[in-house]
Amino acid sequence: MALLRARGPLTRAELGGVIGLSRATVSATVAQLKDEGWVDEQAGTAGVAGRGRPPTLLLLTKKAGLAVGVDLGHSHARVVLAHLGHEVLAEQALQMDATWRAADALDAVEGLVGDVVAAAGVDRAGIVGIGLGLPAPLDTSGHSTSTTIPPDWMREDPARAFAERLGAPVVVDNDANLGALAEARWGAGRQSKTLVYVKASTGVGAGLVLGGRVFRGSTGTAGEIGHFTVDEDGLVCRCGSRGCVDVHVGRRALIAQVAHSQPGISSVPELIAAARDGDLACTRVLADAGETLGVALAAVLNILNPDRVVLGGELGAAGELVLASLRERLRRHALASAVSSATVVQGQLGERAEALGAVLLVLTEAERFASTSATARVGARTAR
């Protein structure tokens, strides 16, 4: 069951192969778990050759437990409810005022969790864990490592506040880490072994997935590409440094750059839409953003040698308007071998990536929820 939770639907043969049990033992155990309602069967898709009977996939049921993913941004909240069989059951999002406070964030998420539980028609007591994505550098225990970057509502201990309010264990992670996890498992990085995901929205961050696991560094802040210096004489950044990527490519910077030619534009989606309509100023700003990101990513390519770079966040929706100049910069500044082995693509999951990654945190990093009472309850039920 732990394997099905972490990997998602598997065939009997795959299951037996990984745990090293005979076909007969696997079949007997699966039959028992099916009888008791923990495991269900689903028709798989035919193999590459398209011949033969498609294999039957095994997956956990709603009875095995529910996972909730929460993505809290500077001005939005998104909640995804899934069951441990890797199937999304319901999803809700809302826009918030950018000046919202901790109490507003708690109220909003509690309301959204109530909505998705009702929409899916499930029992809230089945929630085994909640993954919470936040837009700031975090240490491994989920506390912000910066006093200046996170929004006001993150100043306290968000994991504890949400766990108390929602009555389930909560594990917090940086939003870009979660976007990376989701694109690696369910999106544009499914075949990738070494993935770099860039989330460019209000700020710019990156998540690294190496061999299927998020790489967080020694204290949790790995991947903060937004605070890579691209102009030593540039404007001072909220991190205290000068000329960071964030100062050039963050939402406010992009909108400020078209304030003279397009004073009516107040969001990145509007800017992208204007560029698609042929506006030269907006097209130029997006191309410049690609160049800036490319300079920073060239260093990442040389150091990490990824096979896939995925651009997500609001800016990801610009696709080739950003990616063409980004690739050009990589060719100019990174080693040829590092460039040729990395495919640079737009994210597939869009603005859902971070919340889906928060669900995957519950599914694939179950050990982080293991010490909690809710998980222990399911474990005890399973053991019987």
Footprint on this chain of Zn ion (rule: CB under 5 A): 227, 237, 239, 241, 244
* DSSP for 234-270, written as a single string: SPBPTTS-BSBHHHHHSHHHHHHHTTTT-TT--SHHH
Closest distance between Zn ion and the C-beta of residue 180, in Å? 20
Q: Would you say 241 or 372 has its CB closer to Zn ion?
A: 241
Q: Would you say 220 or 226 has its CB closer to Zn ion?
A: 226
Q: Would you say 159 or 244 has its CB closer to Zn ion?
A: 244
Phi, psi for residue 47 in degrees, rounded to 5: -65, -175
What is the helix (H) or strand (E) element at residue 338, kind and residue range?
A: helix 336-340
Closest distance between Zn ion and the C-beta of residue 186, in Å? 30
Per-residue burial over 62-75, b if 16 or more Cβ lie within 10 Å, else e, is: bbbbbbbbbbbbbb
Closest distance between Zn ion and the C-beta of residue 250, in Å? 9
Angle at 209 between CA 349 and CA 2, to 5 degrees: 85
Closest distance between Zn ion and the C-beta of residue 146, in Å? 10
Closest distance between Zn ion and the C-beta of residue 376, in Å? 41
Q: Would you say 16 or 135 has its CB closer to Zn ion?
A: 135
Q: Would you say 237 or 355 has its CB closer to Zn ion?
A: 237
Note whether 241 and 229 are within 8 A (CB).
yes
Q: Would you say 60 or 254 has its CB closer to Zn ion?
A: 254
Closest distance between Zn ion and the C-beta of residue 176, in Å? 14
Per-residue burial over 22-34, b if 16 or more Cβ lie within 10 Å, else e, is: eeeebeebbeebe
Q: How many beta carbons lie within 10 A of that of residue 240, not counting itself? A: 12
Closest distance between Zn ion and the C-beta of residue 204, in Å? 9
> Can you give 221-244 as a three-state secondary structure string?
CCCCHHHCECCCCCCECCCCCECE
CA distance 131 to 116: 15
CA distance 64 to 111: 24
End-to-end CA distance of the chain: 13
Closest distance between Zn ion and the C-beta of residue 253, in Å? 12
Q: Would you say 106 or 253 has its CB closer to Zn ion?
A: 253
CB proximity list for 225: less than 8 A, separation 6 or greater: 198, 204, 205, 206, 245, 296, 297, 300
Q: Would you say 21 or 239 has its CB closer to Zn ion?
A: 239
